[in-house]
């Protein structure tokens, strides 16, 4: 009797269920042509589909918070947890894992994300999502040799920033770290490390908080403080 080949739908359903079981969120998939420069899979086949994995709103935090990495007091616990759980998914499903924090050079996660989901470049440089606002990020990607299809956003999808005339994200930073020239990291960090930076240290980035889109989906306070501590510790190495 011939062995049934799994249908792509079955495979995707199993993969998405396995991602959900880690506490992370499936964040769409895209076709990757050769010019994207992905490395070949461990068996030498070229990558054809990239499956993005991340977090959205509060999903993705509690599984990490319960992990051994979150308590072992070694550096970069969230990155190490991500490598463990996404690496296990890669082994189990025959994929290669890529991470947003592995660099420089950095994999272009934001560019990939815009091909897989309706997310748009905001004036802060963070991508804004129509539902999650600025409260979402990526923890890794699984590269497959198979063609698993794409989840491209509708061509008519529009950025929430288009209708946002007040743009409070650009006027809330106490030291105007955001301008047409981009994000002035040195200015932000100088404020964060000064006595006047207490609110940003405890409550997180004021500019990110000011966005009205998805404001009810803001990360939990404990997570905000963790991310801010990690940001201050890393300075030039972002992982969130
Ligand atoms: C280097 C880096 C930083 C640096 C410098 C960021 C900067 N603006 O100069 C530092 C350490 C300061 C930093 C800080 C933070 N970062 Co950062 N960072 C990165 C990293 C590792 C690489 C970014 C990069 O150089 N991309 C260049 C190329 C390789 O990527 P690309 O997709 O082709 O390029 C697009 C972006 O660069 C984008 N872009 C990025 N910044 C800006 C700024 C402006 C003004 C514009 C117009 C465009 C723009 O435009 C490109 C085309 O689409 C990415 C992860 C990744 N691998 O992408 C995270 C990433 C961008 N950071 C992220 C986050 C959340 C933060 C923080 C809020 C961290 C925190 N504490 O939680 C802060 C604040 C950032 C801010 N307000 O802009 C998230 C953003 C999630 C999202 N919703 O978009 C990412 C994607 C990481 C992740 N794990 O998801 N970060
Ligand atoms: S405050 Fe307005 S312009 Fe800024 S990110 Fe949010 S929707 Fe976009
Ligand atoms: S953390 Fe504070 S100082 Fe830095 S960009 Fe955000 S609001 Fe400005």
Q: pLDDT (tens digit, 9 = 90+) per residue, 121-159? A: 999 999 999 999 999 999 999 999 999 999 999 999 999
CA of 233 to the centre of ligand 2 (A): 27
Ligand 2 atom with minimal separation from the 124 CA: 5
Q: What does the DSSP 8-state code read for residue 102?
A: S
The phi and psi torsions of 129 (rounded to 5 degrees) equal -110, 140
Asked whether residue 7 carries a pLDDT value surpassing 70, the answer given is no
Residue of 185, 204, 207, 240 best suited for mutating to test ligand 3, as the one with most atoms within 8 Å of CB: 207
The secondary structure element, H or E, covering residue 121 is: strand 120-121
CA of 80 to the centre of ligand 3 (A): 26
The C-alpha atoms of residue 238 and residue 229 are separated, in whole angstroms, by 12
pLDDT, position 1? 42
Q: pLDDT (tens digit, 9 = 90+) per residue, 61-82? A: 999 999 999 999 999 999 999 9
Q: What is the pTM of this model?
A: 0.93
Res. 233 pLDDT band, cuts 50 70 90: confident
Asked whether residue 14 carries a pLDDT value surpassing 90, the answer given is yes
Asked whether residue 236 carries a pLDDT value surpassing 60, the answer given is no
Q: pLDDT (tens digit, 9 = 90+) per residue, 193-213? A: 999 999 999 999 999 999 999
Q: What does the DSSP 8-state code read for residue 136?
A: E
Does the CB atom of residue 169 touch ligand 3 within 6 A? no
Q: Confirm if 109 and 100 have CB atoms less than 8 A apart.
A: yes
**Which residue, judged by its Cα, is nearest atom 6 of ligand 2?**
211
């Amino acid at each position: 009797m011939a062995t049934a080949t799994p249908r792509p739908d079955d495979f995707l359903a199993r993969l998405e269920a396995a991602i959900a079981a880690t506490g992370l969120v499936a964040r769409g998939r895209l076709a990757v042509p050769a010019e994207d420069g992905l490395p070949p899979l461990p068996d030498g086949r070229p990558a054809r589909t990239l499956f993005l994995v991340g977090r959205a709103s509060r999903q993705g935090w509690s599984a990490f918070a319960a992990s051994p990495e979150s308590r072992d007091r070694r550096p970069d616990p969230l990155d190490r947890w991500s490598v463990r759980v996404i690496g296990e998914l890669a082994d189990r499903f025959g994929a290669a894992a890529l991470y947003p924090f592995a660099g420089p050079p950095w994999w272009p996660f934001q560019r990939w994300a815009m091909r897989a989901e309706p997310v748009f470049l905001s004036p802060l440089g963070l991508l804004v999502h129509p539902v999650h606002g600025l409260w979402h990020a990526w923890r890794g990607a699984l590269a497959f040799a198979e063609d698993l299809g794409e989840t491209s956003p509708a061509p008519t999808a529009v950025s929430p920033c288009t209708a946002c005339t007040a743009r409070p994200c650009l006027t809330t930073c106490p030291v105007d770290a955001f301008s047409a020239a981009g994000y002035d990291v040195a200015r932000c960090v100088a404020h964060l490390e000064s006595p006047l930076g207490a609110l940003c240290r405890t409550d997180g980035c004021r500019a990110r908080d000011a966005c009205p889109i998805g404001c009810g989906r803001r990360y939990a306070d404990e997570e905000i403080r963790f991310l801010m501590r990690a940001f201050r510790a890393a300075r030039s190495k972002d992982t969130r």
